[in-house]
């Protein structure tokens, strides 16, 4: 086989190897843009937004940890609800010694308002220093305290 063909193949392999590297890098650039900023007027509507009740869309969007070892963590809220506790299967896994395995459940009521259920936790869940039971109504900004951790619904 001619020298020329071999040389073309040899350089072709090098070029293709780098092309592969760059396509991989291109595919992972999403890591750099973890959040996407949308303008609400004329922007692309969020996928699946139509399914949520109107009230929910105007209501809280995230659950934020405002105090405790997980401070700064946010979890997006959706209609399926959230389970909070120390058990690793929870949606928000607390590292708080005062939290129970399955401690608190948040869910969206049919009226579009969020409710909290304390799941018979050992040390309790407190809102305004009152221990809550099940079906406690939550507003945006209500501070929910579990041990050292304070949670808050945010828009």
Partner 1 sequence: MTTITTFRPRTGRTTELILLVFAIGIVMLAYVNVGLAVRGEVPANLLTTGGIFLAVTVGFHLVLRWRARYADPLLLPIATLLNGLGLVMILRLDYAAGREMGSLVAGRQVMWSALGIILAAVVLFVIRDHRVLRRYTYIAMVAGFVLLLMPMLPLIGHEENGSRLWIRIAGFSFQPGEVAKIALTVFFAGYLVATRDALSLVGRRFLGLQLPRGRDLGPILAAWGLSIMILVAQRDLGSSLLFFGLFVAMLYVATERVSWIIIGLSLFCAGAYVAFRLFAHVQTRVNLWLDPFDPTASSDQVAKGLMGMGHGGLFGTGLGEGFPHLTYFANSDYIFASFAEELGLIGVFAMLMLYALLVERGLRTAIGAREGFGKLLAAGLAFSIGLQIFVVVGGLTRVIPLTGLTTPFLSAGGSSLIANWIIVALLLRISDHARRPVAERVTDEVQPAVGATAPQPGGGR
Residue ranges in contact with partner 1 by CB under 8 A:
1, 5-7, 9-14, 16-21, 23-25, 27-28, 30-31, 33-41, 46-48, 75-76, 78-83, 88-91, 93, 105, 107-111, 113, 115, 117, 132-137
Residue 75: CB partners within 8 Å, gap ≥ 6? 62, 63, 82, 91, 92
- Report in angstroms how near the CB of residue 136 gets to partner 1 at its nearest: 5
Which residues contact residue 107 at a Cβ distance below 8 angstroms, ignoring those fewer than 6 apart? 81, 82, 114, 115, 117
* Shortest spacing between CB 61 and partner 1, in angstroms: 9
Distance CA 116, CA 120 (A): 12
The distance of closest approach from Cβ of residue 76 to partner 1 in the complex, given in angstroms and rounded to an integer, is 6
| Nearer residue to partner 1 within complex by CB, 7 or 122 | 7
Smaller CB separation from partner 1, 35 or 129: 35
Least distance in angstroms from the C-beta of 128 to partner 1: 11
Interacting residues of 64 by C-beta distance below 8 A, sequence separation 6+:
72, 73, 74, 151, 152, 153, 154
């Amino acid at each position: 086989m001619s020298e020329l063909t071999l040389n073309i193949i040899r350089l072709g392999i090098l070029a293709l190897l780098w092309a592969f590297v760059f396509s991989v890098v291109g595919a992972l650039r999403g890591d750099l843009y973890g959040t996407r900023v949308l303008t609400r007027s004329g922007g692309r509507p969020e996928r699946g937004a139509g399914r949520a009740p109107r009230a929910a869309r105007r209501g809280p969007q995230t659950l934020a940890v405002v105090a405790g070892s997980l401070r700064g963590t946010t979890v997006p809220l959706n209609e399926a609800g959230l389970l909070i506790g120390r058990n690793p299967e929870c949606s928000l896994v607390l590292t708080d010694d005062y939290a129970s395995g399955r401690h608190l459940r948040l869910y969206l009521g049919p009226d579009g308002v969020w409710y909290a259920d304390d799941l018979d936790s050992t040390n309790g869940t407190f809102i305004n220093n009152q221990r809550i039971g099940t079906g406690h109504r939550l507003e945006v900004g209500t501070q929910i305290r579990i041990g050292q951790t304070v949670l808050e619904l945010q828009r």
